Amino acid sequence: MSTQSESSTKAIFYALGANGGIALAKFAAAFFTGSGAMLAEAVHSLADCANQIFLLTGLKEAKKPADASHPMGYGRVVYFWAMMVALLLFFVGGAFSVMEGIRHFQHPEPVSNATVALLVLGVSVVLEAFSLRGALQEINKISKGMPFLKWFRETRQSELMVVAGEDIAALFGLAIAFVAVVLTTLTGNPLWDAAGSIAVGLLLMTVAVFVTREVKAMITGESAAPETNAAIKAHIEARPEVAHVINLITLQWGEQLMIAVQACMQPQGSDVALIDAINAVEASLQARWPQARWCFFEPDFEAGKD
């Protein structure tokens, strides 16, 4: 198992454990208090548990060996499951919360046992913070100090991006639910609780849209991260067999990478020598980037030739 896969799996299990306990506590609190915001949070946590199971399913399927119908393997199946998670987060988490809030606006219900709700929300914050801390630790292992927002935009590791996005949305959602319950208790107005449910839903839907946008780019065929592209080009041009790179295409394939190179080669004594030179460059690329499972090389001797 690769380091990236290990990081993703650890982060997913952190989130699954935290969200499982949180969902049970929230459903119990929603039952005893009648809080719509709490029920919205409970459904959100339950959806998160399903999301983590989807991501683990994707990681497992991605390891299936290549076959005749999928000659480049199943690595990109993780993007499909990440998209399913984004849709579940949008519709089951976000849309349900908004509809629940609207229902409570139309038919206000008092919140009872607010202390129980606040206690559960406080415990949930601790568990979600633990999950987010675990995800950020795994991200830091592979991001090499890159700022989080930049990593989020440039990462090709969809499952880890989804877990981090979920955890951040969950923490903000818990804060909103906490404030809604407090305001409802202090004012005696249940409409604060309804507004909290709607706010949580809109937050989840917003996060889901951002996640969907990033995963869409991966599904439609995204290159390696910009710094990886630059490093690959510099590596090839530093080889003595190569004069310069004419064109470089990379394609992220789940955890694996495809590299296609058109390069102006240094003169070689024979066709056999040219083949040996190309093989040497490809071997050096795959030694430097073990995830580069496929490397296609087109030699050229005329600078600028397309």
**What are 109-144's pLDDT values in tens digits?**
777 777 887 888 888 888 888 888 888 888 888 777
The Cβ of residue 277 has, within 10 Å, a number of other Cβ atoms equal to 19
What pLDDT score does 304 carry?
46
Name the class of domain 226-300: alpha beta
Mean model confidence pLDDT for the chain: 84
Per-domain boundaries in the chain: 3-219, 226-300
Whether residue 112 contacts residue 190, with contact meaning beta carbons closer than 8 Å, is answered with no
Which run of H or of E encompasses 205?
helix 191-219
And the tokens for 167?
């955890």
Query: Rounded distance, CA 117 to CA 147, Å?
Result: 35
pTM of the predicted model as reported, rounded to 2 decimal places: 0.72
Closest to 7 in 3D by CA, of 161, 186, 154: 161
How confident is the model over 78-107, as pLDDT tens digits? 888 888 888 887 787 788 888 888 988 888
Query: Rounded distance, CA 38 to CA 101, Å?
Result: 11
Q: What is the mean pLDDT of residues 146-166?
A: 81
- At the topology level of CATH, where does 3-219 sit? Alpha-lytic protease prodomain-like (1.20.1510)
Query: Rounded distance, CA 252 to CA 226, Å?
Result: 12
Q: What is the mean pLDDT of residues 2-12?
A: 70
